[in-house]
Amino acid sequence: MHRPASTPEQPQEPPALRAETLQHTPQGQPYSARYGDVYASRSGAAGQARAVFLQGCGLLERPAAWCGLRQFVVLEAGFGLGTNFLATWRAWRDDPQRPHRLHYVGIELHPLSAPDLLRECADPQLAELARHLAAQWPAALPGLHPVSLDGGSVQLLLAFGDIGQLLPRLRLGADAVYLDGFAPARNPRMWSREALLALTGLCRPGARLATYSVARPVRDALDEAGWEWRKLPGYAGKAQRLQARLRAPGASSRARSPRGAPGSALVIGAGLAGAACAQALAGRGWQVRVLDDNGAAGATSALPAGLAHLRPAALDERLARLSRSGLDWLRLALPPQSAAALLCGDAVLMAAQQPRLAALHRHAQDWDARWLRLLEPAQAAAASGLADAPRAWWTAGSVVAAGALCREWLRAEGIELSAGRRVHAVRRDRASRMWQALDEQGALLAQAEVCVLACAAGGPQLLRASGLDAPGIPTLHLQAGRGFLVAADALGALRGLRAGVMSGCYALPLPAAAVAAAALDPERRWLFVGATYEHAGHPAWSQQQAWEHIGAGLRPWLGADPGAAGGWPAHPPRQGWSFRGERAGAADRLPLVGDWPAGRDDTDRGLYLSLGMGSRGLLLSALAAQCIASDIEGEPAPLEDDLLQAVHPLRAALRRRAAPAADATPRPGPAPASREPAPRDGGR
């Protein structure tokens, strides 16, 4: 690699994530002034990718190291311009014996831009692939960014952040590792003993590793971590390169094991949470049986339309991070043929006056404008389609036809829906190793290897009836809510609405699929306006009460004179109808997603929960499904460990285990609902 005269100082603290400006050597090679090194061999990045990394991990041999496998996972330290990824993807495409799914996790602290990636991709064999990658290239924000390619068979997870901070938070099992930091002397964090040990803990038995560096400290750390390495002739005149094989995973291995073949799954609940799980598993070849005492989208998920959008807050706030991932996975889970009918717009506008949103200015500069930006009234008017709009935050998001999406997910091949089946209990049959769903008389309704409880408030009850209750599961509180479907021309002030708008309440243009599902006149434009928060158990609000509450909540969007003709009518219009449903959520507003400890040992595994979506079922269902499906299949997790723990059904116990001394006080139960400010639809 190119060696400059002086070594730049290495920061002690992990450096902050920053989008990188690419520089070039006088000879025109991509170069980092920050580290004083070039991105790849002078003799060509694509050639180096093949000769050092693919060759070193056995991917150019025939049969290749991935031959006959269902999934193969590559972990790369230093994603840079993505040349190694593109070359791996190319090799996967060219190999008739390729694995069904290629997963590639690329760690990168200084993301370059999509135009840089395109411009620097000199190899004609990789150019078309680079265009696909650039089209989905994420903003330079910390965390895990999924990119789905070749119809989902190639899954790239871009992990933006510092290697030392990320490795302990990733959950995956790697079959191959590419070590491609800048030279160890200039970029020691990428090659530190700690990093190499942490990385080894994510590797499966027999994993292979390749790197261009044969530096002594790297070899020593690999030795210590249990790798058997050898030096081979280097690429294009470089004396040597290193390839290695993991002897046996160490005691500290946390590598996820791959599942050999798809199996059968039971999903209890045919709302958004259950439908998302069913389609995620069916998409991996599983046979899925969904049981529901109603039918597809028969309860709260009958919602005609709702919002899925970014939670605007500090960049590293938990819900802000979850909402970024939630949106990413929702978009990837949309059936491509009907996405246009199911969604409306790519932004949600939030009136900027509320105190919480006013405080956002402090954090907003950390965000990429593709996710969050402030609009002046004229810009907000243009974006919303309203003549008279307030100053507003533009946040990434969409209006989604909730019920139609839920039903569409359940129509995927491999899913069988049984409506009108109330599950009273589930149990694991030890002899057959099957999860069985039983009715009230104890009769068998269905059985499968894996079972997901996605039945909202019915979940904790089902666990209790099954004798699978465990202390520490957060209580799910119920809140009822109402919204109205109305013709846009009946609401003068909102007649031209083109995007979802929020203040205390929301107004949403209805996506085409929701208009069709509700059998409304497709020649007219329709809006969904909502929503109320009513304590379950109290008498329901009257329609008039709800209507007035929503009108007051939408005040900033109703223009200077909402009382003007048709601005906000005094009574709900006669055409259209109202929707009422119940949200079930935990007091901390996080869903309950993850595996559930069903028995004494590992053989009792296979029970999962996807509950407590509260007022964010649209935003979180696809992400929750991905967390569960990836765990079942042994794929890389879509979230970092701290977020997986934050949403885990037994999070309180996990927190206590992590910090026993700090939490010696009696176990904190969930706060009573009445003391919590009500969570809001659309992600507040």
Ligand X SMILES: C[S@@+](CC[C@H](N)C(=O)[O-])C[C@H]1O[C@@H](n2cnc3c(N)ncnc32)[C@H](O)[C@@H]1O
The residues that touch ligand FAD, with contacts defined as CB under 6 A, are 268-274, 291-294, 298-301, 303, 306-308, 402, 422-423, 454-456, 458, 462, 481-483, 530-531, 581, 583, 613-619, 681-682
The residue nearest ligand X at its CB is 80
Residue selected from 51, 56, 65, 83 as contacting ligand X according to rule CB under 6 A: 83
Residue selected from 41, 71, 84, 155 as contacting ligand X according to rule CB under 6 A: 84
Q: Which stretch binds ligand X (CB under 6 A): 105-113, 135-143, 318-326, 481-489?
A: 105-113
Q: What letter would DSSP give residue 488? A: G
Residue 460 site contact among ligand FAD, ligand X, none (CB < 5 to 8 Å, cut-off depends on kind): none
- In three-state secondary structure terms, 620 is helix
Residue 294 site contact among ligand FAD, ligand X, none (CB < 5 to 8 Å, cut-off depends on kind): ligand FAD
User: Cβ closer to ligand X: 40 or 330?
Assistant: 40
Residue selected from 130, 149, 163, 273 as contacting ligand X according to rule CB under 6 A: 163
Query: Which are the contacts of 61, defined by CB distance < 8 A and separation ≥ 6?
Result: none
CB 140 within 8 A of CB 128: no
Question: Does 180 engage in binding with ligand X (CB under 6 A)?
Answer: yes
Question: Does 187 engage in binding with ligand X (CB under 6 A)?
Answer: yes
Residue 462 site contact among ligand FAD, ligand X, none (CB < 5 to 8 Å, cut-off depends on kind): ligand FAD
CB 201 within 8 A of CB 172: no
Residue 456 site contact among ligand X, ligand FAD, none (CB < 5 to 8 Å, cut-off depends on kind): ligand FAD
For the bound state, the minimum distance from the C-beta of residue 87 to ligand X, rounded and expressed in Å, comes to: 8
- CB burial string 669-683: b at 16+ within 10 A, e below: eeeebeeeebbbbbb
Nearest to 298 by CA among 415, 416, 413, 417: 417
Residue selected from 36, 58, 78, 458 as contacting ligand X according to rule CB under 6 A: 78
Residue 108 site contact among ligand X, ligand FAD, none (CB < 5 to 8 Å, cut-off depends on kind): ligand X
Residue 214 site contact among ligand X, ligand FAD, none (CB < 5 to 8 Å, cut-off depends on kind): none
Hunting for tokens 């309704």 — which residue is that?
Answer: 445
For the bound state, the minimum distance from the C-beta of residue 502 to ligand FAD, rounded and expressed in Å, comes to: 9
CB 523 within 8 A of CB 674: no
Residue 225 site contact among ligand FAD, ligand X, none (CB < 5 to 8 Å, cut-off depends on kind): none
Please report, as residue ranges, which positions from 106 to 125 form the binding site for ligand X (by CB under 6 A): 107-110
Distance (Å, rounded) from C-alpha 177 to C-alpha 65?
13
User: Cβ closer to ligand FAD: 616 or 651?
Assistant: 616
Question: Does 170 engage in binding with ligand X (CB under 6 A)?
Answer: no
CB 321 within 8 A of CB 143: yes
Nearest to 74 by CA among 214, 226, 199: 199
Question: Does 31 engage in binding with ligand X (CB under 6 A)?
Answer: no
Strand-by-strand arrangement of the 264-268 sheet: 415-418, 287-291, 264-268, 450-453, 607-611, 592-595
User: Cβ closer to ligand X: 83 or 323?
Assistant: 83
Question: Does 371 engage in binding with ligand X (CB under 6 A)?
Answer: no
Distance (Å, rounded) from C-alpha 79 to C-alpha 536?
50
Distance (Å, rounded) from C-alpha 287 to C-alpha 275?
13
Nearest to 92 by CA among 69, 115, 121: 69
Within a 13 Å sphere around the CA of 466, how many CA atoms are in the beta-carbon half?
27
Where along the sequence are the contacts to ligand X (CB under 6 A)? 39-40, 45, 78-84, 107-110, 162-163, 180-182, 187, 189-190
